[in-house]
Amino acid sequence: MQILRAPVGGLLRHVADLGEGLADRGHAVALVTGGPATPAEARHLAALERHFSLGIHTVPLPRVFSLADLLAPKRISRLANSLDIDVLHGHGAKGGFHARLAARNRAWPVFYTPHGGVLHYSPKSISGKVFFALERAQVQGTEKIIFESEFARTAFAKVIADPKERGTVIYNGLRKHEFNPVVSAGEFTFGFVGELRKLKGLDVLLDALHRIGETGDMPTLVVAGDGPDRLEFEARARGGNVPKSAVFCGFQPAMKIFERADCIIVPSRKESLPYIVLEAAAAGKPMIATRTGGIAEIFGPTEATLVEPGHVGALAAEMERWLNTPDALIAEAEIRREHVRKTFALSTMVDAIKALYGEALSLR
């Protein structure tokens, strides 16, 4: 049983890929989510049903702690009993929290993949202190904590607890067809794909775009995605005199943006191991990204080109490098594509996680 709160973004992509891979290897899989918040999310979940033969189930898992959190573990436990589940695997802070509480009443082996989640909180904030304490208390009850990057494992050990032998790193993976090169039609100079919230750094990108336009022609930017800060970002684009250069197109598949934009930009303040960086690298797209989370592990031999998060000047300078010397970034993109091909394969990810499940069950 795979458990997560919100069926969105890279976290859902990971769970969907894992569920499909396990199903292809003959396993019956259930998916538990906090429920879709939008019609688009509902359609996405419906498209995944064929890979989850034990069903897609909704258990209220609110973003902010509430009464529903007191009821969720028992509901998950009852559901797992009724489906004769062998393994529980929680994803993200809420999914991991409730998976481990649900397993306390049974001898299920329980796994946890943080996906960044709780690591995005400041250790100095009240919320951070509370969530870190909860995480710390649950380490010993977890069969394995599966990190998507070495960065995530190191950060977890630093601010929460060293999982020691309970921790392992298994990279997210891509399908073979995702390594086909994608050539841009040249409609836009730059492309952004992601959730429209401050954490993803689109405000920094808009400011960098404005800075470039002050001294020369304004490059064009296509923005794909939606989120809580969309209206603020659109207002920022208008205020920075870039409304004609920045086009907000809502949710779009990443590949569509790869086809429309020459260079992909990932200006995130914080990340875990973002799929958009993996996908762009596999497609051979020139890319500008920040040094946060596991992005350096994806960039591999080209990591020296990463810029500091939140630094408008550094981002603008790297964007101007693309405008002035595109051949250099194209060459870096090909080096990065080969690195990702060797390191981030979906079959490797699924087989490694499946092996951990099997090992845990063999000891019961």
CATH superfamily of the 177-343 domain: Glycogen Phosphorylase B; (3.40.50.2000)
Helix (H, G, I), strand (E, B) or coil at 181: coil
Measure the N-to-C terminal CA separation of the chain; round to a whole number of Å: 18
Beta-bridge partners for 263: 190
Q: Provide, rounded to the nearest whole percent, the portion of the chain with pLDDT above 90.
A: 80
The chain-wide mean pLDDT, for the chain, equals 93
pLDDT, tens digit (0-9, with 9 covering 90-100), for 36-79: 878 878 888 999 999 999 999 999 998 777 888 899 999 999 99
DSSP 217: P
**The residue type at 225:** G
Q: How far apart are CA 243 and CA 76, in angstroms?
A: 47
Element (H, E) at 281: helix 275-282
pLDDT score of 122 more than 80: no
Q: Phi then psi for 197, rounded to 5 degrees?
A: -145, 160
pLDDT reported for residue 65: 78
131-136 LR contacts (CB < 8 Å, sep 24+): 131/93, 132/159, 132/160, 134/97, 135/93, 135/160, 135/161, 136/160, 136/161
pLDDT score of 117 more than 80: no
- How many other C-beta atoms can be found within 10 angstroms of the C-beta atom of residue 146? 24
pLDDT, tens digit (0-9, with 9 covering 90-100), for 68-99: 889 999 999 999 999 999 999 999 989 999 99
pLDDT, tens digit (0-9, with 9 covering 90-100), for 195-254: 999 999 999 999 999 999 888 788 999 999 999 999 999 999 888 666 678 999 998 999
Q: Name the band, by pLDDT with cuts 50, 70 and 90, for residue 290.
A: very high
Alpha helices, H only, the chain: 9-24, 39-48, 67-82, 92-102, 126-138, 150-159, 202-215, 230-239, 254-260, 275-282, 295-299, 312-324, 326-343, 346-362
Write out the residue limits of the CATH 3.40.50.2000 domain(s) in the chain: 2-173+345-362, 177-343
Cβ pair 307, 318 in contact under 8 A: yes
pLDDT reported for residue 332: 98
Cβ pair 159, 134 in contact under 8 A: no
pLDDT reported for residue 286: 98
Pick the closest to residue 351 from 17, 3, 1 (CA basis): 17
Element (H, E) at 21: helix 9-24
Q: Which two tokens stand for residue 143?
A: 């069969």
In whole angstroms, what separates CA 9 from the centre of its chain? 6
Q: How far apart are CA 336 and CA 281, in angstroms?
A: 6
Q: Which two tokens stand for residue 327?
A: 């051949």
pLDDT, tens digit (0-9, with 9 covering 90-100), for 293-348: 999 999 999 999 999 999 999 999 999 999 999 999 999 999 999 999 999 999 99
Q: Average pLDDT, stretch 130-159?
A: 93
Report domain 2-173+345-362's class: alpha beta
pLDDT reported for residue 240: 67
pLDDT, tens digit (0-9, with 9 covering 90-100), for 300-315: 999 999 999 999 999 9
- Specify burial of residue 62 (Cβ count, 10 A radius: 0-12, 13-18, 19+): middle
